[in-house]
Structure 1
Amino acid sequence: MSEPQKEEKKSAGLLRSSAVVGVMTMLSRVLGLTRDVVVANYFGASGSADAFFVAFKIPNFLRRLFAEGAFSQAFVPVLSEYRTQRDLQAVQQLVNYVAGTLGSVLIAITVLAVVAAPMLTAMFAPGFYLGDEGKFELAAEMLRITFPYLLLISLTAFAGAVLNSYERFAVPAFTPVLLNVSLIGSAIFLSPLFDPPVLALAWGVMIAGVVQLIFQLPFLARLHLLPKPTWGWRDPGVQRIMKLMIPALFGVSVTQINLLLDTVLASFLQTGSVSWLYYSDRLAELPLGVFGIAIATVILPSLSRKHAEKSSEHFSSTLNWAMQMVLLIGVPAAVALFVLAEPMLITLFHYGALTDRDVAMAAMSLRAYACGLVAFMLIKVLATGYFSRQDTKTPVKIGIQAAVANMVFNLLLIGPFAHVGLAAATAMSAFLNAGLLLYGLRKSGVLIWAQGWLVQIFRMLVANIAMAVCIVFLMEQAELWLEMSVWQRITEMAILVVAGVSVYGAVLVLAGIRPRHLKHA
Structure 2
Amino acid sequence: MNLLKALAKISGLTLLSRILGLVREVLIANLFGAGMMTDAFNVAFRLPNLLRRLFAEGAFSQAFVPILSEYRTQRSEADTHTLVNRVATLLGVIVLLITVLGVIGAPFVIQATASGFANHPEKFALTVELTRVTFPYIFFMAMVALSAGVLNTWSHFSIPAVTPVLLNVAMIVMALFAAPWFDKPVTALAWGAFIGGCLQLAIQIPALARIGMLPRFDLHFRDPGVIRILKLMGPATLGVSVAQVSLLINTAFASWLPTGSVSWLTYADRLMEFPAGLLGVALGTILLPSLSRLNAAGDKEAFSSMLDWGLRLALLLTLPAALALCILSVPLTSTLFQHGAFSASDVLQTRQALVAYSVGLCGLILVKILAPAFYSRQDIRTPLRFAIISLFATQVMNVLFVMVGPLRHAGLALSIGLAASLNALLLYRGLRRKEVFMPQPGWWAFSGKLLLALCVMGVVLWFAMGSEQDWLHAPTSRRLLWLTGLTFAGAGSYFVTLFALGFRLADFKRRAAA
TM-score above 0.5: yes
Aligned match of 1:4: none
- The change in CA–CA distance for 1:15 and 1:69 in structure 2 (over 3 A counts) is closer
1:461 aligns with 2:464: no
Task: Report the Cα offset of residue 58 of structure 1.
Answer: 1.0
1:311 aligns with 2:310: no
Of 291, 307, 324 in structure 1, the residue corresponding to residue 279 of structure 2 is 291
Answer yes or no: is the 8 Å Cα contact 1:325–1:518 preserved in 2: yes
Aligned match of 2:154: 166
Task: Report the Cα offset of residue 68 of structure 1.
Answer: 3.6
Aligned match of 2:334: 346
1:119 aligns with 2:119: no
Letter of the 1:178 partner, please give it.
Answer: L
1:486 aligns with 2:476: yes
1:70 aligns with 2:54: no
Aligned match of 1:22: 11
Answer yes or no: is the 8 Å Cα contact 1:125–1:267 preserved in 2: yes
Answer yes or no: is the 8 Å Cα contact 1:171–1:216 preserved in 2: yes
Partners of 2:57 and 2:228 lie apart in 1 by 18
Structure 1 window deviating more from structure 2 (330-339 vs 55-64): it is: 55-64
Partners of 2:419 and 2:458 lie apart in 1 by 26
Task: Report the Cα offset of residue 484 of structure 1.
Answer: 2.4
**TM-score calculated relative to the size of structure 2:** 0.97
Aligned-residue identity in percent = 46
Of 93, 98, 106 in structure 1, the residue corresponding to residue 87 of structure 2 is 98
Of 433, 438, 455 in structure 1, the residue corresponding to residue 423 of structure 2 is 433
Task: Report the Cα offset of residue 67 of structure 1.
Answer: 4.8
Answer yes or no: is the 8 Å Cα contact 2:69–2:293 preserved in 1: yes
Letter of the 1:64 partner, please give it.
Answer: R
1:42 aligns with 2:31: yes
Aligned match of 1:223: 211
Q: 1:203-282 counterparts in 2 under 5 A? A: 203-282=191-270
Aligned match of 2:190: 202
Answer yes or no: is the 8 Å Cα contact 1:61–1:256 preserved in 2: yes
**Cα offsets for 1:208-251 (capped at 9, x unmatched):** 01011001110111111111121122111111100111222311
Answer yes or no: is the 8 Å Cα contact 1:179–1:209 preserved in 2: yes
Task: Report the Cα offset of residue 520 of structure 1.
Answer: 5.6
**Cα offsets for 1:142-200 (capped at 9, x unmatched):** 11110000001110111111111111111100000000001111111111011110001
Answer yes or no: is the 8 Å Cα contact 1:95–1:225 preserved in 2: yes
Letter of the 1:44 partner, please give it.
Answer: G
Partners of 1:520 and 1:156 lie apart in 2 by 28
Aligned match of 1:473: 463
Of 150, 172, 183 in structure 1, the residue corresponding to residue 171 of structure 2 is 183
Letter of the 2:260 partner, please give it.
Answer: G
Answer yes or no: is the 8 Å Cα contact 2:48–2:134 preserved in 1: yes
Task: Report the Cα offset of residue 69 of structure 1.
Answer: 4.3
Partners of 1:185 and 1:394 lie apart in 2 by 44
Aligned match of 2:432: 442
Aligned match of 2:47: 58
DSSP 3-state at the match of 2:408: helix
Answer yes or no: is the 8 Å Cα contact 1:98–1:229 preserved in 2: no
DSSP 3-state at the match of 2:339: coil
Task: Report the Cα offset of residue 426 of structure 1.
Answer: 1.1
Of 402, 406, 414 in structure 2, the residue corresponding to residue 424 of structure 1 is 414
1:398 aligns with 2:371: no
Task: Report the Cα offset of residue 487 of structure 1.
Answer: 2.0
DSSP 3-state at the match of 2:407: helix
Partners of 2:501 and 2:327 lie apart in 1 by 24
Of 286, 299, 311 in structure 2, the residue corresponding to residue 323 of structure 1 is 311
DSSP 3-state at the match of 1:175: helix
Partners of 1:260 and 1:362 lie apart in 2 by 18
Partners of 1:314 and 1:191 lie apart in 2 by 54
Structure 1 window deviating more from structure 2 (297-306 vs 258-267): it is: 258-267
**Cα offsets for 1:97-153 (capped at 9, x unmatched):** 111111111111111111110000010001101x21111111111111100000011
**Cα offsets for 1:401-447 (capped at 9, x unmatched):** 00001100000000321011111111111111110000000000000
1:335 aligns with 2:323: yes
Partners of 2:338 and 2:52 lie apart in 1 by 29
Letter of the 2:279 partner, please give it.
Answer: F
Partners of 2:113 and 2:264 lie apart in 1 by 17
**Cα offsets for 1:274-325 (capped at 9, x unmatched):** 0010001110110000111100110000101111111111110111011001
Structure 1 window deviating more from structure 2 (245-254 vs 463-472): it is: 245-254
Aligned match of 2:20: 31
Unaligned runs of 5+ in 2: none
Structure 1 window deviating more from structure 2 (224-233 vs 101-110): it is: 224-233
Matched residues, number: 509
Partners of 2:495 and 2:482 lie apart in 1 by 20
Partners of 1:514 and 1:312 lie apart in 2 by 27
DSSP 3-state at the match of 2:222: coil
Answer yes or no: is the 8 Å Cα contact 2:3–2:510 preserved in 1: no
Answer yes or no: is the 8 Å Cα contact 1:248–1:393 preserved in 2: no
Partners of 2:408 and 2:273 lie apart in 1 by 21
Partners of 1:437 and 1:252 lie apart in 2 by 10
Answer yes or no: is the 8 Å Cα contact 1:70–1:246 preserved in 2: no
**Cα offsets for 1:307-344 (capped at 9, x unmatched):** 11111111101110110011000000000000000000
Answer yes or no: is the 8 Å Cα contact 2:167–2:193 preserved in 1: yes
Aligned match of 1:510: 500
Letter of the 1:369 partner, please give it.
Answer: Y
Partners of 1:296 and 1:503 lie apart in 2 by 28
Letter of the 1:370 partner, please give it.
Answer: S
Task: Report the Cα offset of residue 476 of structure 1.
Answer: 2.5
1:498 aligns with 2:491: no
Letter of the 2:48 partner, please give it.
Answer: P
Task: Report the Cα offset of residue 96 of structure 1.
Answer: 0.8
Partners of 1:168 and 1:360 lie apart in 2 by 42
**Cα offsets for 1:457-507 (capped at 9, x unmatched):** 111100011001011121121221223222221111110001111110110
Task: Report the Cα offset of residue 263 of structure 1.
Answer: 1.2
Letter of the 2:481 partner, please give it.
Answer: T
DSSP 3-state at the match of 2:123: helix
Partners of 1:193 and 1:230 lie apart in 2 by 42
Partners of 1:379 and 1:475 lie apart in 2 by 31
1:388 aligns with 2:387: no
Q: CA RMSD in A?
A: 1.1
